[in-house]
Amino acid sequence: MNLQARLDGLRSAADAAEGRLDQALLDEVRAGVDRSTGRLRLSERHTVVAIAGATGSGKSTLFNALAGAELSRSGARRPTTSTAQALVWGDGDADELLTWLGVRPADRHRRDALPTATPPGRLPEGLVLVDLPDHDSIEAAHHAEARRVVELADVLVWVVDPQKYADAAIHREFLRPLAGHRAVTMVVLNHIDTVPEERRRSMVADLRKLLVADGIRDPRILATSARHDVGIDDLRRAITRRVQEKQNTVLRIDADIRAAVTRLADAAGRAPYPVPDVWVADLERRLADAAGQPPIRRGPVDRPAVDNAVRGLVDRLCGDLAPGWGRAVRAAVTQRLGDTDDRLDAELAALPVPALRPARAGARAGVAAAVLLALAAVASGVTGVLPPVVAFAAAGLLGVVAIVAGLLDRGASRRAAAHAHQVDAGCREVVARVVREHVLAPARRELTSYARFERGLRSARGQV
């Protein structure tokens, strides 16, 4: 998937999270998208390699060594470099790119225009080497300038020295956030001449350990002495390889997008979308219980039980979601809980009442009476109170009445069951409708923005 589409996805994720995630984070992500979009519009023929690091680590001295000329002032006064210095190899027009990088015209240099010096032209065409002010400066403007260009450059050369390589602030502020940028980052341990030879290897190993702890897998480390021309050829070769691979802009933007995706995803947490059916079924069952099953249901719904059931679902929905997002979902559903109860009451009250009992009771009483009378008639026939013919005829007649009444009872009982079933189905329908309209719809409306956010992240990852 092309980078611009991934950047668009990242922007749409940030937009979908507006008001739900930390504003500063969203602004940073959008600023990153703008930077990358800007870089993609500019020269593909150039590779911006920025030299960054603490004051006095030897950035300008390294820059000059690579340039083969004393272009950038290096010195004992700290800090020395105050604005980014750029040197362009080759005859391509890099002005637009340098303007975008914010390099002042006075600080732009062309390798072609310099007198041939040692070592001549051993770096490839298209390289734009930038010497930065120190990032740990007591001068706020230096810090801002360094940070700005570090965010824009295609490749980063981090210069550390034997005194400050373990400095916690450098690792926390710069190296750790660039952990995913290994492909476009190299670390240079300069001033290596000041370290006794037998200690150099263990110092590099120690630096490696720190970088790995920062999250940089298999970091590239070069040990140099800019003052005594140690390791400069290796650095030149490493830079040449990077520039010739030409993928740096793409790799840098890819790493930036991944880092932003991780930050957004971590900040947002997760929401189940769509809402799982079993959770909905569970809520419906609990609301039906709160309404009371017919024919028991006679009064208003059990409001605390409805509240509990609805809040239970919201808790499940928001459990792993960022508080900002969770609050919005919770508010959307629970602010209407009173309406939910009223609506349940009103709709359940409008259901037909299961009231076939009197008919059944009458039929049953009829059966019982007829049986008793028939028995009385038989008894009076036997005891001679009535003439036997009359008694047995009366008993027969009452027997028929009992059978008819029994049939009526069975019919009534079947109708009652069917009616109760209908009322029960009606009740379930009411509950399902109220759940759909009062709970799921507002929750889904809120979760739609989360779904848009997720979609944005997926396309930022290049998955759609």
Instruction: Using CB under 6 A, count the residues that bind ligand GTP.
Output: 24
Contacts to Mg ion from residues 51-70, by CB under 5 A: 59-60
Query: Judging by DSSP bridges, how do beta strands 127-131 and 85-88 pair with one another?
Result: antiparallel
For residue 319 the two structure tokens come to: 């459990």
Q: Which is nearer to ligand GTP, 21 or 157 (CB)?
A: 157
Question: Binder to ligand GTP among 12, 47, 60, 459 (CB under 6 A)?
Answer: 60
CA distances, 214 to each of 2, 157, 168, 257, 260 (Å): 29, 16, 10, 19, 17
**Binding mask of the shown chain, residues 276 to 315, with x at each position contacting Mg ion by CB under 5 A:** ----------------------------------------
Nearest to 295 by CA among 365, 348, 361: 348
Count the Cβ atoms, other than its own, within 10 Å of residue 242.
Answer: 24
**Which residues touch 15 (CB under 8 Å, ≥6 apart)?**
456
In the complex, minimum distance from the CB of residue 75 to Mg ion, in angstroms, rounded to a whole number: 8
Identify what 107 binds: Mg ion, ligand GTP, none; CB under 5 to 8 Å per kind.
none
Query: Quick check: 214 and 185 in contact, CB under 8 A?
Result: no
Only segment of 30-38, 74-82, 83-91, 254-262 that touches ligand GTP (CB under 6 A): 74-82
Query: Quick check: 21 and 264 in contact, CB under 8 A?
Result: yes
3 state SS of 164: coil
Quickly tell me which residue has 């969203």 as its tokens.
Answer: 26
For residue 81, state whether it binds ligand GTP (rule: CB under 6 A): yes
One DSSP character per residue, 277-308 reads HHHHHHHHHHHHHHH--TTT--S---HHHHHH
Question: Binder to ligand GTP among 19, 75, 319, 338 (CB under 6 A)?
Answer: 75
HSE-up of 4 (CA within 13 Å, CB side)?
5
Only segment of 5-13, 220-228, 241-249, 316-324 that touches ligand GTP (CB under 6 A): 220-228
**Binding mask of the shown chain, residues 127 to 166, with x at each position contacting ligand GTP by CB under 6 A:** ------xx--------------------------------
Identify what 276 binds: ligand GTP, Mg ion, none; CB under 5 to 8 Å per kind.
none
Question: Binder to Mg ion among 12, 36, 57, 80 (CB under 5 A)?
Answer: 80
For residue 231, state whether it binds ligand GTP (rule: CB under 6 A): no
Q: Which residues bind ligand GTP (CB under 6 A)?
A: 53, 55-61, 74-76, 78-81, 133-134, 190-191, 193-194, 225-227
